[in-house]
Chains A and B, each alone.
Chain A
């Protein structure tokens, strides 16, 4: 890292000054409690763990947000079980929330009202629980994006990626089960919709709903069953898988961003004790503190305002929590003609596709991506250095396109809100989103890919011609030009360290033998080559030392107007030629 620490400008030239702290405790002794434990468990042998090094980067904190939110959920959730009654038994409310006094409702809803109004600080715990759950999934989503766009899922971490995708699916299911528990009008509507989703499943749908609901909707079983799933079944799997997930991070050692001194065979950063204990431990309290701040000031899920569940009622503007938006949005976009009768049975793809099939489908695609990419690249090496997203343009573009599809579906969930707020026709919005779902990913893909390639070109330009110094020089003839300063080797390394992957069609040899006869490849291999072309046909090679030397050689050209631009054009063209490419990528 070459950034100068805050406030250190005065000392930047004293970098030679000794910074190491002298060992003032030359003969340290183990504290007696540790000695006690060591005699019984040999714990001293494991203390090397405290020296373990972790690399530093803000984007590594995203996963930590998820981890800490999970812990907050576990703590606050345990508290909530002391008061929450997971029963659909009918009671007449007699608590201190006046507007609902005397209203018939389920015990689940009544006890949620009690937590909110009659237990001191209960509302705070409820709000903490709900906000932490939302933050948990936000953290997961951002963490998944970080891991995806930096290629951290590559060998040897593919299986940990799979564990992570399962975790993220479980987190959403856990969240859905959780917000369904209070049995208020909004969450009851959600359960009603879930009942409809299950019914739509071919062959087993009706049976599934009767088994899950213990009979006809709504029955009296669904809240107790969701409860045990929410507080025991899913958390047990979540925590178990999470433990494996985090253990593997220790086992593999954390990936790091490329930079001077960072290689594929080392890890550069700070030790667990004391730096990461303080930083990561402190970050837990920061996440917890911010969650408390939000919970204090912003109300989430005011169940008392919705009233108890009644299957004959619904409020306009019913939306699930945000992580289910894409599924609900898909249901709003799927047209009715996807339902049809065939062989005497009802096939409701208008529902089934957007609910029961969509979730497993999205997470399956996510889970298998590393294996697909590995198959396409044929790259079986271990990767511990992260990619800068621009250096993997197609992967980055594919990810961005997928996110845009996800966002279209998510936005479809608020089509009614948009229609009201912006005075638009809900029908037009829905139709537009249907079209966008197919068109937007294509546009996003192309734009992001071009953007990545352009950023790579900009990197090349910076390496070859330096950075703008802000100093204007005047030649004896009266011409002006700006002096460019060459990068130092540390800054330059960031921009030249990567390798540009080549398509298989180049590396696997020509398609014809020396007599011009086609070398047959199987359909699978042919598909693989096409995909490899798709991924790596357009690419920008990093600057090589000889290119830099050549740029220096005619560096005087910079003094001439347009010289800089011309030099870039040349160098990029040369890069393309070296690779022997037909690239549609020329400026």
Chain B
């Protein structure tokens, strides 16, 4: 292309609706600066060198592709190695990834280098037009619309438009209703109780061993599930399904801790405990993560998800973090030497929900 193609004549003829900004005392756009040729434009040796660089990059890409194919078949997929800085890796994965990267980068870098060194770098000016159509086109469009409207007799029979609009507005409702209605059951009062019942043994998760008070030593924290949902009893023909176990784990998981009874601050907490052994829902009252971190010295429970912190000595009240409500306590007692639930949870466990307070 020649230089006169890129010449810009200022000021441009502006469409009538465009108002040149600012006061009259402004600098004028000087137009495109003169083009400076690249070395490859004027020096044949430089151009030749650029060509060599591009073909080398494309050649590397071909090698990378072939390397990938060879490695795919020849390298042992379980090959492992230690690479400096990166550490222990699956070498097969690394070789495949690197050869693929070479194959792709060769093409990409080659093409860009080609464009930057050998393809024209003279800037071209293309005129831009305002988006809005001119008045003539608008009038014509208005005519077409109006003609369509009238020839459909909508101007004389408005009920056509009204009913058609109504029908079109409503026809999707049956589909929407079917989808929404079929997605899931109504909650009912499912969220208000867990499987814990009076007399259910406290089993260690995952072994399923029933707990006696002696097994709960000072300072230890035990993850507990209700009878029938952990260990051997949960397997077999009559046992709960994998789905039921998941649901029980998500709602009825309990943490068991033995506190020094003198530290317990509330009478209710003491009444529902056995010799300082307290059982609390493990499901955070914020958004339902398991409250998994127990600090022995402070008797704080911390949820790793959002750092809600509960004070075990004070009925698991929230002392920090985004949760509002304390963890619900499970009343426990001793029956035939085993720790059992004295009752179910007195309130819904887990995250807040709208109908919770009812």
Q: Return the chain A residue nearest B123 by Cβ.
A: A268
Say how far B142's CB is from chain A's closest CB, in angstroms: 21
List residues of chain A with CB within 8 A of the CB of B8: 261, 263, 266
Known interface pairs A275-B120, A290-B101, A489-B27; 19 further A-B residue pairs with C-beta atoms within 8 A, sorted by A's residue number: A5-B39, A120-B77, A200-B353, A214-B185, A216-B247, A265-B14, A266-B127, A268-B32, A278-B115, A279-B116, A282-B107, A293-B97, A296-B97, A311-B246, A314-B292, A328-B306, A334-B322, A350-B322, A381-B19
Inter-chain contact A351/B352, CB cutoff 8 Å: yes
B205 within 8 A of A: yes
Inter-chain contact A282/B184, CB cutoff 8 Å: no
Q: Return the chain B residue nearest A343 by Cβ.
A: B357
List residues of chain B with CB within 8 A of the CB of A216: 190-191, 247, 250-251
Binary B-proximity of A186-225 (CB < 8 A = 1, otherwise 0): 0001001101110111111111011111111111110000
Inter-chain contact A274/B242, CB cutoff 8 Å: no
Looking at B40-48, B168-176, B258-266, the stretch in contact with chain A turns out to be B40-48
Q: Considering the complex, which residues of chain B in the window 322-355 have a beta carbon less than 8 Å from any beta carbon of chain A?
A: 322-325, 350-355
Inter-chain contact B324/A193, CB cutoff 8 Å: no
A427 within 8 A of B: yes
Inter-chain contact B324/A492, CB cutoff 8 Å: no
**In the complex, what distance in Å separates the CA atom of A293 from the CA atom of B106?**
12
Inter-chain contact A192/B287, CB cutoff 8 Å: yes
Inter-chain contact A312/B324, CB cutoff 8 Å: no
A253 within 8 A of B: yes
A52 within 8 A of B: yes
**In the complex, what distance in Å separates the CA atom of A281 from the CA atom of B21?**
38
List residues of chain A with CB within 8 A of the CB of B12: 263, 265-266
Looking at B88-96, B150-158, B212-220, B267-275, the stretch in contact with chain A turns out to be B88-96
Looking at A10-18, A142-150, A368-376, A470-478, the stretch in contact with chain B turns out to be A10-18
**In the complex, what distance in Å separates the CA atom of A242 from the CA atom of B106?**
28
List residues of chain B with CB within 8 A of the CB of A556: none
**In the complex, what distance in Å separates the CA atom of A107 from the CA atom of B244?**
17
**In the complex, what distance in Å separates the CA atom of A313 from the CA atom of B86?**
29
B187 within 8 A of A: yes
Binary B-proximity of A42-54 (CB < 8 A = 1, otherwise 0): 0000000000110
B237 within 8 A of A: no
Say how far A277's CB is from chain B's closest CB, in angstroms: 8
Q: A200-B353, A339-B324, A490-B30 are in contact. Are A253 and B287 (CB under 8 A)?
A: no
Binary A-proximity of B106-141 (CB < 8 A = 1, otherwise 0): 111111101110011111111111110000000000
Binary B-proximity of A308-328 (CB < 8 A = 1, otherwise 0): 001111111110000000001
Q: Name B123's contact: one of A96, A270, A318, A351 (CB within 8 Å).
A: A270
A-B contact pairs, 15 of them (CB 8 A): A8-B36, A19-B35, A53-B126, A209-B353, A262-B29, A269-B124, A279-B116, A293-B97, A296-B97, A313-B292, A316-B304, A345-B354, A346-B352, A497-B27, A545-B27
**In the complex, what distance in Å separates the CA atom of A562 from the CA atom of B7?**
42
B104 within 8 A of A: yes
Inter-chain contact A192/B119, CB cutoff 8 Å: no
Say how far A258's CB is from chain B's closest CB, in angstroms: 9
Q: A202-B354, A331-B287 are in contact. Are A193 and B43 (CB under 8 A)?
A: no
Inter-chain contact B184/A544, CB cutoff 8 Å: no
Inter-chain contact B18/A260, CB cutoff 8 Å: no
Inter-chain contact B115/A279, CB cutoff 8 Å: yes
A264 within 8 A of B: yes
**In the complex, what distance in Å separates the CA atom of A219 from the CA atom of B250?**
10
Q: Name A20's contact: one of B3, B129, B131 (CB within 8 Å).
A: B3
Say how far A324's CB is from chain B's closest CB, in angstroms: 13
**In the complex, what distance in Å separates the CA atom of A562 from the CA atom of B198?**
90
List residues of chain B with CB within 8 A of the CB of A195: 287-288, 351
**In the complex, what distance in Å separates the CA atom of A90 from the CA atom of B246?**
11
Inter-chain contact B128/A384, CB cutoff 8 Å: yes
Shortest 8 CB-CB distances between A and B: which pairs? A296-B97, A196-B287, A282-B111, A285-B108, A261-B32, A289-B105, A289-B104, A286-B108
Inter-chain contact B186/A5, CB cutoff 8 Å: no
**In the complex, what distance in Å separates the CA atom of A311 from the CA atom of B304?**
13
B221 within 8 A of A: no
**In the complex, what distance in Å separates the CA atom of A443 from the CA atom of B27?**
36
**In the complex, what distance in Å separates the CA atom of A4 from the CA atom of B38?**
8
B208 within 8 A of A: no
List residues of chain B with CB within 8 A of the CB of A73: none
B144 within 8 A of A: no
**In the complex, what distance in Å separates the CA atom of A252 from the CA atom of B128?**
8
Inter-chain contact B72/A260, CB cutoff 8 Å: no
List residues of chain B with CB within 8 A of the CB of A267: 125-126, 128
Say how far B202's CB is from chain A's closest CB, in angstroms: 14
List residues of chain A with CB within 8 A of the CB of B106: 289
Inter-chain contact B123/A269, CB cutoff 8 Å: yes
Say how far A103's CB is from chain B's closest CB, in angstroms: 11
**In the complex, what distance in Å separates the CA atom of A270 from the CA atom of B123?**
6
**In the complex, what distance in Å separates the CA atom of A279 from the CA atom of B113?**
8
**In the complex, what distance in Å separates the CA atom of A83 from the CA atom of B354?**
40
B236 within 8 A of A: no
B164 within 8 A of A: no
**In the complex, what distance in Å separates the CA atom of A274 from the CA atom of B114?**
10
Inter-chain contact B322/A336, CB cutoff 8 Å: yes
List residues of chain A with CB within 8 A of the CB of B129: 265
Q: Considering the complex, which residues of chain B in the window 11-36 have a beta carbon less than 8 Å from any beta carbon of chain A?
A: 12, 14-15, 18-19, 21-23, 25-27, 29-36
Q: Name B33's contact: one of A52, A220, A260 (CB within 8 Å).
A: A260
Inter-chain contact B32/A260, CB cutoff 8 Å: yes
List residues of chain B with CB within 8 A of the CB of A211: 180, 183-184
Inter-chain contact B36/A5, CB cutoff 8 Å: yes
A468 within 8 A of B: no
Q: Considering the complex, which residues of chain B in the window 274-301 have a beta carbon less than 8 Å from any beta carbon of chain A?
A: 282, 286-290, 292-293
Say how far A285's CB is from chain B's closest CB, in angstroms: 3
Say how far A210's CB is from chain B's closest CB, in angstroms: 4
Inter-chain contact B42/A11, CB cutoff 8 Å: yes
A469 within 8 A of B: no
Inter-chain contact B26/A544, CB cutoff 8 Å: yes
Inter-chain contact A312/B253, CB cutoff 8 Å: yes
Q: Name B355's contact: one of A206, A264, A293 (CB within 8 Å).
A: A206
**In the complex, what distance in Å separates the CA atom of A285 from the CA atom of B187?**
51
Q: Return the chain A residue nearest B36 by Cβ.
A: A15
List residues of chain A with CB within 8 A of the CB of B42: 11, 14, 17, 19
Looking at A121-129, A232-240, A520-528, A564-572, the stretch in contact with chain B turns out to be A121-129
A60 within 8 A of B: no
**In the complex, what distance in Å separates the CA atom of A233 from the CA atom of B98?**
33
Of residues A202, A215, A315, which shows the largest number of chain B Cβ atoms within 10 Å of its Cβ?
Answer: A215
Q: A120-B72, A195-B288 are in contact. Are A344 and B357 (CB under 8 A)?
A: yes
List residues of chain A with CB within 8 A of the CB of B22: 499
Q: A195-B287, A312-B282 are in contact. Are A20 and B93 (CB under 8 A)?
A: no
Inter-chain contact A295/B97, CB cutoff 8 Å: yes
List residues of chain B with CB within 8 A of the CB of A312: 205, 223, 225, 249-250, 253, 282, 290
Say how far A521's CB is from chain B's closest CB, in angstroms: 24
Say how far A276's CB is from chain B's closest CB, in angstroms: 8
List residues of chain A with CB within 8 A of the CB of B130: 382
**In the complex, what distance in Å separates the CA atom of A121 from the CA atom of B116?**
35
List residues of chain A with CB within 8 A of the CB of B290: 311-314
List residues of chain B with CB within 8 A of the CB of A1: 33, 123
List residues of chain A with CB within 8 A of the CB of B103: 289
Inter-chain contact B250/A332, CB cutoff 8 Å: no
**In the complex, what distance in Å separates the CA atom of A416 from the CA atom of B356?**
30
A555 within 8 A of B: no
List residues of chain B with CB within 8 A of the CB of A287: 108
Say how far B21's CB is from chain A's closest CB, in angstroms: 4
Say how far A119's CB is from chain B's closest CB, in angstroms: 9
